[in-house]
Amino acid sequence: MSIIEVHNLDFSYNGETVLQDVNLAVAPQDYIAIIGPNGGGKTTLLKLILGLLKPDRGWVRVAGKLPQKASTSIGYVPQDVYLNTSFPVTAMDVVRMGMLDQKNRFSKQKTSWRKEVMAALERMEMAALAQEKIGMLSGGQRQRVFIARALVTKPKLLLLDEPTASIDTKGQMDLYRILKELNGEMTILMVSHDLMAISSHVKSVACVNKDLHYHDQAEITCDMLETMYPYSMEDVCPVELVAHGIPHRVLQDH
C-alpha cells in the first residue's frame, strides 16, 4: 500500500492554475526530492498532502486516509519557520511544541513528554544542546531542532521544504547524513534546489512544474531538467550541472 496517493489533482489560486492533473504514488520509506522552478507548485503540493489546502479536482490520501485525518502520521518542517530567536525559549521547549494537540494542550503528561522530547533531540544529535536558547544556536542546529519537533510524534511521513536553505556546507552534510538514517524508518519528501543532494542522497525525484513527473531513481539528467525548467538548457548544461556536483557521466549521455 502506498503511503501517499495523489490522483488526478488540480489546484488553482485566484484563477491561476498551480497544479494540473497530478498523479503520484509513494511507497513506504521512499526518499523523494521534489524539484522544479520557482512557482512551479512544489510547496503547494506539500500543503495539499498535509491537508492545509484542498484540491479543486482529484484527491489525496495519506496512509489510506484523508490528510486531515492522518495528521499524526505526518511531520512537517516549512521553509520559513516563524520563531522569534530573541525569545528566551530552549531547544527542548521548541521540540515540546510539536506535542501540542489541536486544542492547544499538551498531549502528554509531564512524566512522559520529557523522555520523548529528549529522544527526538537525540535522533537529530542535539540532545547535548537541549537547554540552549534557540537564538544561540547556528542555522544548521536550529533546523535540526525544528526537524526534532516534527519527529516527536513519531510520524511515518516527513515533509521538508528547503531544509538546507541558509545552512553552511558542513551543516548540510550533517543534516543529509541524519536524514538518510531516518529514512530507514520513515518516508521523506524534500523540496530542494540542491542538485548535488539529489544525486548523492535521495532515492527518487519528482519534477514539478504544474504537472508532475516521477523518476524512481536519483540520477538527474539534462532531459529531466529541460522538461521542468523554463530557461534554455544551453545555459545550464553542462556548466551548471557540474557546478552542482552532478556526475560527469550524466553530461556525457547528453
pLDDT at 64: 94
What digits encode the pLDDT tens for the residues 85-113?
Answer: 677 899 999 999 998 754 444 555 555 78
Q: Which residue has the cell 492547544?
A: 104
Confidence (pLDDT) at 249? 39
- For cell 515540546, the residue is 96
Give the model's pLDDT for residue 119. Answer: 95
Residues in the chain predicted with pLDDT less than 70, given as ranges, are 81-85, 101-111, 196-197, 221, 223-254
Provide the domain count of the chain.
2
**Cβ-based burial of 181 (10 A; exposed 0-12, middle 13-18, buried ≥19):** exposed
Indicate if 139 and 247 belong to the same structural domain: no
On whether the pTM is more than 0.75, the answer is yes
Domain that holds residue 236: 219-254
Same domain, yes or no: 166 and 68: yes
Query: Are 55 and 130 within one domain?
Result: yes
Cell numbers representing residue 103 in the block: 486544542
- pLDDT (0 to 100) of residue 111: 55
Lookup: cell for 14: 485566484
For residue 194, the model assigns a pLDDT of 78
Report CA dihedral (161, 167, 173, 176) to the nearest 10 degrees.
Answer: -20
Selection from 154, 145, 141 nearest residue 92 by Cα: 145
* Angle value at C-alpha 202, between 63 and 59, nearest 5 degrees: 30
- How far is 47 from 85, CA to CA, in rounded Å? 25
CATH number at residue 17: 3.40.50.300
Same domain assignment for residues 227 and 106: no
For residue 63, the model assigns a pLDDT of 94
Looking at the structure, do residues 244 and 232 belong to the same domain, yes or no?
A: yes
